[in-house]
């Protein structure tokens, strides 16, 4: 797993398009399966659409290990950030 923020310099428009694409895929999955797996920790949020060939536990454990290794206990702190856009639920 890599930290894409240090490797890629995406424009604001590209970031918005990527976010919209991911939100669209999640909405589509929720419509067909009515569920996703959600990992929330501080400001970090990860949502995975369930599929038979995805080991969600392994992905979440690897993600937590990576985040803790990279950010340590700072990961547990939550900062309220006001973002534009729509709320999804």
Residue 49 domain flag: yes
Give the residue numbers spanning the domain of 39: 35-79
Give me the pLDDT at residue 87, please. Answer: 44
Residue 1 domain flag: no
Residue 44 domain flag: yes
What CA–CA distance (Å, rounded) separates 46 from 78? 15
Residue 11 domain flag: no
Residues 32-83 pLDDT 10s = 666 788 888 877 788 888 888 989 999 999 999 998 898 888 877 766 554 4
Domain total in the chain? 1
pTM, two decimals, is 0.51
Residue 68 domain flag: yes
Q: Residue 5 pLDDT more than 60?
A: no
Q: Residue 3 pLDDT more than 70?
A: no
Burial zone of 89 (CB within 10 Å; 0-12 exposed, 13-18 middle, 19+ buried): exposed
Residue 67 domain flag: yes
How many other CB atoms are there within 10 angstroms of residue 30's CB atom? 14
Q: Residue 1 pLDDT more than 80?
A: no
């Amino acid at each position: 797993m890599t930290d894409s923020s240090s490797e890629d310099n995406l424009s604001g428009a590209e970031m918005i398009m990527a976010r919209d694409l991911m939100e669209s895929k999640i909405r589509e999955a929720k419509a067909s399966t009515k569920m996703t797996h959600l990992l929330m920790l501080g400001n970090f949020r990860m949502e995975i659409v369930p599929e038979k060939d995805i080991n969600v536990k392994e992905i979440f454990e690897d993600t937590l290990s990576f985040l803790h290794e990279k950010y340590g206990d700072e990961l547990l702190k939550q900062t309220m950030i006001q973002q534009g856009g729509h709320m999804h639920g």
